[in-house]
Amino acid sequence: MKKIAKSVAIAAAVVMLVPACGSSGKSGLPAEVTLTKERLLDKIKGGWAGQTLGVTYGSETEFLYNGTYIQDYQPITWYKGYVRDLMEERPGIYDDIYMDLTFVEVFEREGFEASVDSFASAFAHADYELWHANQVARYNIVKGVENPGHWINNPHADDIDYQIEADFAGLMSPGMPNTASEISDRIGHLMNYGDGWYGGVYVGAMYSLAFVSDDVEFVVTEALKTIPAESRFHRCIADVIRWWRTYPDDWHRTWFEILQHYSEDIGCPDGVFKAFNIDATVNAAYVVLGLLYGGGDFGRTVDIATRAGYDSDCNPATAGGILGTILGYDRIPEYWMQGLDGAEQLDFKYTDMSLERVYEVSNRHALEMIVHNGGQVDDEEVTIRVQSPQSVGFEQSFPGMYPVRVINFYTERQNPIEFEFEGTGFVLRGDAQRKSDDAPYGELEATLWIDGEAIETVGFPLSYKYRRHDLFWRYQLPKGKHRIRVEYDATSPYYLRTWDYVVYSDEPRSSQPGV
């Protein structure tokens, strides 16, 4: 764990806030904003409640609509007490909230100077299941891998994981987007990098600015100044804003433009060349789609963010949380608030926190952060020293890499596992299995050989909680033909099963047949 703390601390030192590219530094934000304590709490409650309502509304649609939107006339379930029912019957749908709360609880226990190790250990050893970038990071943290979210160590570095967990960073940093970015640097790099990390930085900035502006367009555009203009993430969100201005009455047209220009998935091996996309960039675009076309209407905002598809529970959660912060708890329409009936007193699974509890804790953290950053807290009011958003440093996952093939490669109990490919890298997907149901849940060790050289020996826990998400991967190989061999002890009570592998090169394949 010491290695993780050291490497992330180094990252924090180099990911400095720099002037936004192409920006004069003028933002239109006041130097200070004064809110009543009542209004501050109302906004914090609105953020947490809005997030909970959004994820609940989209819960029955998640990843069922990939590359298509949900028709406007197709009904989506909503009724009084819906949140309570799902918290009791399907608590796992609230993963983006209880992940948020994991980090809130660390701040609550250890204060604002909590170590990176504390955040890493808290989510790596939590009881809940994880997927994608979070699961790879969990494995890396437990195994002591440095920079667990970096793309070299994490094929899912650009996935949505930290984007859906960053709400807390903005809610505890009202009017202070750069403070939210600093929090995201410490925590978000544990599981993401590049555009995957930018998703969380951007979400944190939008939440932060939602405390000091009631203008959705301003919040969306001003928060984008935290993201380097040369990044793909920035280009995508800037395009969404531009398309919204071009087609202000047709969210379907902007949805199509997003799909046409930004639906390719390079990193996540589950999404390469498939109608599946958990990439932070395109899903953040759907969050912004909902916010802009929602026009400040809570129902329309979460509905559009849901109907856009892909991660269609997390996207309305983010959009609903940001708009809920802008509006405040008391201004979320009753039709939507009825969904919370009987739910706010219930602890989210894997936590000791209910919504009522997190309202209080998050509000206290925000008050402390206001003072910590030079603001003032009086008996009835708070004065926030507003920060003009600054860009974080530029970073990019998978530079110069292009997926060129996905090869079906199903094997079971094959040992050694062998294949050849031509390119600069690969990801082999699969899992570890027990040979018999009475075998204990131990760990299988396997060795990767590339071109006759032993590259690494890694452990494959049979526990689903601590599993290795992908079998093996290697990037930045010399361009050419490569021989892959994976072998393990044949007498082990476990074996490896493979599904397919993704091949990368330094240039895309021609789309012309036969070329």
pLDDT in tens, 306-324: 999 999 999 999 999 999 9
Centre a 10 Å sphere on the Cβ of residue 317 and count the other Cβ atoms it contains: 32
| 3, pLDDT greater than 50 | no
Q: Give all domains of the chain, ordered by start, each with its CATH number.
A: 2-385 (1.10.4080.10), 402-505 (2.60.120.230)
> What is the rounded average pLDDT of the residues 433-452?
97
Query: Residue 409 gets which letter from DSSP?
Result: E
Identify the band that residue 362 occupies on the pLDDT scale cut at 50, 70 and 90.
very high
* This prediction's pTM: 0.95
- What phi and psi values does residue 263 have, to the nearest 5 degrees? -90, -5
From residue 24, give the alpha-carbon distance in Å to each of 13, 293, 352, 389: 25, 28, 45, 12
pLDDT score of 1: 39
Q: Express each pLDDT in 37-63 by its tens digit.
A: 999 999 999 999 999 999 999 999 999
| 27, pLDDT greater than 90 | no
> What is the rounded average pLDDT of the residues 348-371?
98
Identify the band that residue 89 occupies on the pLDDT scale cut at 50, 70 and 90.
very high
> What is the rounded average pLDDT of the residues 165-190?
98
Q: Express each pLDDT in 217-275 by its tens digit.
A: 999 999 999 999 999 999 999 999 999 999 999 999 999 999 999 999 999 999 999 99
Q: How far apart are the first and last CA of the chain?
A: 48
H or E segment to which residue 227 belongs: none
| Separation of alpha carbons 264 and 310, rounded Å | 13
| 8, pLDDT greater than 80 | no
| Separation of alpha carbons 296 and 488, rounded Å | 57
| Separation of alpha carbons 394 and 416, rounded Å | 41
Using an 8 Å Cβ cutoff, are 192 and 280 in contact? yes
Using an 8 Å Cβ cutoff, are 293 and 252 in contact? no
